[in-house]
Structure 1
């Protein structure tokens, strides 16, 4: 095992390299060897949705690896940029989120990454919100940022190029997104920025802006996009091929046991720290180990063992207590009433409060509308209702 095996595990690219014509002479490895201070490792997360899946966890896990090597993780919650939305890879303009939506999403993001990052060791983590500096930019500073890039450079960006070619609208405020993400690097004086392969353009903009403002440009470290449990397309909630960080251990275990054989090595490399040369040869044994290890990371050994035992006995869903909807006196029924009927909440009133607080999920999706109503029991059959982190029931006829 080499000195920097932790750094290189699962990465696609580190840039710049010493051979690049416009780069500094040192490599990231050289910087890590010679630095006399902890490097500042930036990862930005825009809270555009309520939940994170395993694909989102990959750069967060790499951020933890830097923490364990003695460096400072700078986790930027993009509460300001989330109101615009990253246009990368989007065929149309994103809906702009409200300040309240962003604040609620940000809180749940932090809850979900807590099992991954070291929140306790002094000096190992800074959590910053980019509204701290972006909300204070005056028109003069915004014009200065805009003057560092040309329209041609923006239109060369993947996503913009496709939309321009197809004559789909591109709004001026979308051009601001990579500049604002880049300015985040200036604000926190980042030495390294982590991101998926689709973030190279935005990270490079950060390097350019750091030069413009007299800082040493950051290194970019790119990580792969995780293929979903279908083995075909990238992991995505909308495609249904995802494993959510907030899902019940039994649900995680069940989904991970179904990962196709040809994707298992990628999952082990990106989602665990297990040595890749010591994995079981039998694909079924690999699936079992993967499911157990990922559940252990997020829920502990006991939960992993319980999920494994339930799967062994054929009751993959049996680790989740069941509640018969026959116990709901009538339909249509409001979710708050159902929460009381299942005893997940003490009453309908408590159910309403939990919904308002963002503590209620259905199949991992956060429910925030207290008036959510179900017309008939069949809408809920087989679904998992959750309150907080530890209260679950599977709804059955």
Structure 2
């Protein structure tokens, strides 16, 4: 009854705007009416809401797909709320079972510490460090002890735990589930208790863990947090979710030229999803730009704007401008100024085969891959396409190009 009244009652413009920013690009906001109540109370009292995002430092760096939730954090941070970037140094010792069909191997404490420092530095490329509360869940998880862990485990049943899709599937497929994997969602939920969070963000694959936070906060007598899930970013191929293992990613530590060129390689259709999830342009600005494209403006112009925005975020405005010029130069068949110089020894007979040139200059991982690239018309020497896999280069200096972005100035002597 009360929720129905809230839904139909007029919502002040300030709260409507905050709700629209919260909903931008999100998959689910649960429960939305509760979030409106929290926003309204915050506006009336002047007390910022506590917004939590936890990441386990399982790898040494992150790609721009990971920044989708960080961007949402920054949007809410800009509204004046207190964002909490939580590094799961304790939970990484367990390993998140979300979406796994087998037990995740744990990392060492040393690996976790190194990765955590990198995550912090990379997260601050999106978040305002002066307004970000940085926490580690070892602060409270280490203090739980055996008694506290038993008490925490008593607040959830095995039957409810087995409702989780990945556990349910592994059980029925006969794959093992370790007891410590049941502990992971409990500890992630307990993080919300320790931080007294009002909202927790995560990917769509994290929904079970995020809802655990709501359950445990109620168990501990707290007002339950709301949950906001963001979709997983589709990668460069336009099909699969962005992943290093699928090689369809952009690392946020990649050089500016590579980052810019990779953004330019995505499809026109995918570009608008990236605008929604990655750009800091307003929805109104994006809609206006889309209308211009539909009215006849070249979609490449919109893609350039997106590539420059993303590149500037992780490098600088000047680096983004230079990357655009580099991209234009390459697309016109020009040679970039910063290509590597490689010196190689001549082979027998005073020449070196093109396959070995590509391999030794690190332009191809193997001679067989070099031959495949030649067959595909993707290799040039001094701007001329190479079609002969038996080509041998004699003494001299050559500009060797593979695809649109790989160059080397090779000197054979």
Which residue is equivalent to 2:330? 314
Which residue is equivalent to 2:385? none
Q: Deviations over 1:314-355 (max 9, x none)?
A: 269966833334279xxxxxxxxxxxxxxxxxxxxxxxxxxx
Measure the CA separation in 1 of the matches of 2:207 and 2:312.
32
Contact 1:11 1:221 in 2 (8 A): yes
After superposition, the Cα gap between the structure-2 partners of 1:327 and 1:76, relative to the gap in structure 1 and judged at 3 Å, is farther
Contact 1:258 1:287 in 2 (8 A): no
After superposition, the Cα gap between the structure-2 partners of 1:86 and 1:380, relative to the gap in structure 1 and judged at 3 Å, is farther
Q: Deviations over 1:285-341 (max 9, x none)?
A: 22222111111122121111101011111269966833334279xxxxxxxxxxxxx
Aligned ranges 1:129-144 → 2 under 5 Å: 129-144=136-151
Which residue is equivalent to 1:82? 92
Which residue is equivalent to 2:320? 304
After superposition, the Cα gap between the structure-2 partners of 1:92 and 1:379, relative to the gap in structure 1 and judged at 3 Å, is farther
Aligned ranges 1:1-397 → 2 under 5 Å: 3-4=17-18, 5-18=20-33, 27-120=37-130, 124-274=131-281, 275-279=285-289, 280-281=292-293, 282-314=298-330, 321-326=338-343, 378=359, 381-382=362-363
The count of aligned residue pairs is 335
Runs of at least 5 residues in structure 2 that lack an aligned partner in the other structure: 1-12, 346-356, 365-405
**How far off is 1:28 after superposition?**
4.4
After superposition, the Cα gap between the structure-2 partners of 1:395 and 1:176, relative to the gap in structure 1 and judged at 3 Å, is farther
**How far off is 1:31 after superposition?**
4.0
TM-score by length of 1: 0.78
Measure the CA separation in 1 of the matches of 2:87 and 2:337.
33
Q: Deviations over 1:221-279 (max 9, x none)?
A: 11111111111010001000111111101111111001112211110011112222122
Contact 1:45 1:76 in 2 (8 A): yes
After superposition, the Cα gap between the structure-2 partners of 1:300 and 1:146, relative to the gap in structure 1 and judged at 3 Å, is same
Q: State the SS of the aligned residue for 2:201.
A: strand
Measure the CA separation in 2 of the matches of 1:94 and 1:320.
44
Q: Larger % of helix: which?
A: 2
Measure the CA separation in 1 of the matches of 2:360 and 2:261.
22
After superposition, the Cα gap between the structure-2 partners of 1:25 and 1:396, relative to the gap in structure 1 and judged at 3 Å, is closer
Larger displacement relative to structure 2 (101-110 or 137-146): 137-146
Which residue is equivalent to 1:334? none
Contact 2:61 2:115 in 1 (8 A): yes
Larger displacement relative to structure 2 (269-278 or 178-187): 269-278
Measure the CA separation in 1 of the matches of 2:84 and 2:135.
7
Contact 2:330 2:336 in 1 (8 A): no
The CA RMSD over aligned residues, in Å, is 2.6
